[in-house]
Amino acid sequence: MPLKIWIDGKLHEKTDAKLSVYDHGTLYGDGVFEGIRVYDGKIFECEAHLKRLFDSAKAIRLAMPYTAGELTAAMEETVRANSFNDCYIRLVVTRGAGYLGLNPTKCPTASAYIIADTIELYSRDIYEKGMSVITSSIIRNHPSAISPRIKSLNYLNNILAKIEAVDAGVSEAIMLNHMGNVAECTADNIFIVRDGRVRTPGTAEGILEGITRGVIFKLCARLGIPCDECVLQRHDLYIADECFLTGTAAEVIPVAKIDGRIIGEGKCGPTTRRLMDAFHKHIREA
């Protein structure tokens, strides 16, 4: 059965789901989005994702065309129409159709669309053995230019780093910020464990405040694992006891190798394992 895509209040078959070529989302990357998981028919961290979407829209001065309640209902409708129990939702809001010029005030109405689809997952093996990653030569967007806190439709910064990962034969690349500190990966946040403490770069380092990252903060508090935001240099990664990545697609995934160097024991470490188990328990109970 072909997928049904929600566009501005109507469901369309995938082949008929179309946007204007004058939409500033495609002309300029002028829009915002969210990637969200559905587990057992329930939208995971729905409120947190919508909050981030509305914050991103506010940051680019995009008037949201729907309320959070309307978007929640639309996502639920799209998941139901496609008979999914577990899936991935891409919720996109674009500036809408305008003219061939930058001025966003000439785009009278923003557009929203929702895709519910299956998600490409990493193999089970990687969650045991850990992932190999590299640090990228591409510096994360300067927070004073386009803040990485905005989940915008312009992902070129991340895509350039992802190309380096692909060239190196690994799945993710760590991006440093304009000060040379660790920021995040192309589509994941990064954490280390050192002397029993979980640490991750703070917002001021120029990162997307991942929803999964937020869940890890809550789980650490619940499990009594000390967890803080701090400045991390590449050196801190290399000497870490454990390293893991978090994201909607990856969930919690251990890192075994960075730039060819073995991290800790070179496999999923005990604290990472605890957090992975707690994360899966949390999903089932959410």
Give catalytic residue positions. Answer: 151
Residue 31 touches ligand PXG, criterion: CB under 6 A: no
Count other C-beta atoms under 10 Å from residue 183's C-beta.
24
Count residues contacting ligand PXG (CB under 6 A)?
A: 15
Nearest distance from C-beta of residue 175 to ligand PXG, angstroms: 8
Residue 177 touches ligand PXG, criterion: CB under 6 A: no
Residue 96 touches ligand PXG, criterion: CB under 6 A: no
Residue 187 touches ligand PXG, criterion: CB under 6 A: yes
**Cβ-Cβ contacts under 8 Å for 10 (sequence gap 6 or more):** none
Give the whole-angstrom CA distance, residue 245 versus residue 233.
Answer: 16
Residue 27 touches ligand PXG, criterion: CB under 6 A: no
**How many angstroms separate the Cα of 104 from the Cα of each of 99, 100, 137, 253, 267?**
9, 10, 33, 39, 49
Q: What does residue 93 show for φ and ψ, rounded to 5 degrees?
A: -125, 120
Nearest distance from C-beta of residue 30 to ligand PXG, angstroms: 18
Asked if residue 148 lies in contact with residue 207, where contact means CB atoms within 8 angstroms, the answer is yes
Residue 211 touches ligand PXG, criterion: CB under 6 A: yes
| Both tokens assigned to 258 | 């960075």
Candidate residues 25, 206, 210, 254; the one interacting with ligand PXG per rule CB under 6 A: 210
Residue 132 touches ligand PXG, criterion: CB under 6 A: no
Which of 192, 184, 209 minimizes the C-alpha distance to 271? 192
Give the whole-angstrom CA distance, residue 238 versus residue 230.
Answer: 16
Residues making up the chain, counted from first to last: 286
Stretch of residues binding ligand PXG (CB under 6 A), selected from 3-11, 13-21, 69-77, 183-191: 183-191
Nearest distance from C-beta of residue 212 to ligand PXG, angstroms: 3
Q: Of the two residues 98 and 141, which places its CB atom closer to ligand PXG in the complex?
A: 141
Give the whole-angstrom CA distance, residue 169 versus residue 44.
Answer: 31
Stretch of residues binding ligand PXG (CB under 6 A), selected from 20-28, 97-105, 208-216, 263-271: 208-216
Candidate residues 177, 246, 271, 272; the one interacting with ligand PXG per rule CB under 6 A: 246
Q: Contact positions toward ligand PXG, by CB under 6 A?
A: 35, 158, 184, 187-189, 208, 210-213, 246-249
